[in-house]
Amino acid sequence: MPDANFVYDVKDVAVQPYSPSRRRSVEHFWRITLVLLADYRSTWTIQTFFGFVMPLGMIYLFKYIDSGLTQERAVFILGGNLVTSIAYGPVMLLMNRIGWSRQIRSFDYWANLPVSPLTWVLAMSAVSLLLALPGLIAVYVMGCLLLGLSMAGGLALLPLIPLATLSLTGVGAFLGAYAKNYQVANVLANAVVGFVSFLSPIMIPMEHMPAPMQWIARLVPTTYAADGFRSVLAGNFGPGLAYDILILVLLMVVSLVAVHQKLNWRAA
């Protein structure tokens, strides 16, 4: 028989079993990340390989072309190739995954769950970052050894890596949302990587690029990610680095909001 002194609070009973919205979002993110990670348990070595083979090849190429590199030029090359590693790893992986998911209609599965497309993109970005880390570390270590740079300040790069990855994958996810199948996504991904590698100030200084390309370069996150990496590698932790971080944060927010508006589970 109920205790007469017991106060039955309907609000407590109705609300307590359900987590707050923010907690549910974190839980969904974590579970989706584990599911996506399981998909790559047998192919993660291939994803990691593509994350460092191209940047490392470019470092070898520049080392061969100009054996008398100055420290400033060496920092420029290594910072640009760190961004290239992210483009060849997380960005291509995310865009191809969106195209493949559209092609095999796996988004129909996610559409039946209380999961937003943005949470899926963030989880996929986290998986991409984990798969890209071995390649980034390899590019950094081998680049420092080949270019004669000190590895003493390498830990200072760690806070920049997730920010650069999220800003780039946000743009990649937005473009991938236009892909109707894997083939289209692959074409878009290769176009993005080609632009990053050769048409933005990754390998070529901004002042040596044509004026139209300079205007475009100021609108893409690769410019500020590479500049931020170079500032850290050179030990410049001043206003320039703060400006790069601020722009990366703004571009990340804008791109993720655009992804939230554009990516639709039910899109054909």
The tens digit of pLDDT for each residue in 60-82 reads 888 777 777 788 888 998 998 88
**How far is the C-alpha of 49 from the C-alpha of 45, rounded, in Å?**
6
Q: Which two tokens stand for residue 129?
A: 């970052």
Q: What is the CA radius of gyration of the chain?
A: 22
266: confidence class by pLDDT, cuts 50, 70, 90: low
Lowest mean pLDDT among 16-30, 164-178, 201-215: 16-30
**How far is the C-alpha of 120 from the C-alpha of 36, rounded, in Å?**
9
Q: What is the mean pLDDT of the chain?
A: 80
pLDDT higher than 90, residue 243: yes
CA distance to 13, 195, 204, 223, per residue, from 213 (Å): 60, 10, 11, 11
pTM assigned to the model: 0.81
245: confidence class by pLDDT, cuts 50, 70, 90: very high
How many Cβ atoms are within 10 Å of 31's Cβ, its own excluded?
A: 14
Task: Identify the sign of the CA torsion 260, 262, 265, 266.
Answer: positive
Q: Which two tokens stand for residue 96?
A: 């191809």
Contact 221, 252 (CB under 8 A): yes
Show the DSSP H helices in the chain as ranges: 10-15, 21-39, 44-65, 71-86, 92-103, 107-111, 117-147, 160-176, 182-198, 211-217, 221-234, 239-262
**How far is the C-alpha of 233 from the C-alpha of 82, rounded, in Å?**
11
CA distance to 10, 99, 147, 261, per residue, from 180 (Å): 48, 6, 42, 17
Contact 164, 222 (CB under 8 A): no
pLDDT higher than 70, residue 239: yes
Residues in the chain: 268
DSSP run (H or E) holding 86: helix 71-86
Summarize the confidence of residues 240-268 as an average pLDDT: 82
Find the Cα–Cα–Cα–Cα dihedral 47, 53, 59, 60, rounded to 10°: 170
pLDDT higher than 80, residue 43: no
Summarize the confidence of residues 91-108 as an average pLDDT: 82
Q: Which two tokens stand for residue 74?
A: 């060496």
**Which pLDDT tens digit goes with each residue over 46-59?**
777 777 787 888 88
**How far is the C-alpha of 178 from the C-alpha of 187, rounded, in Å?**
12
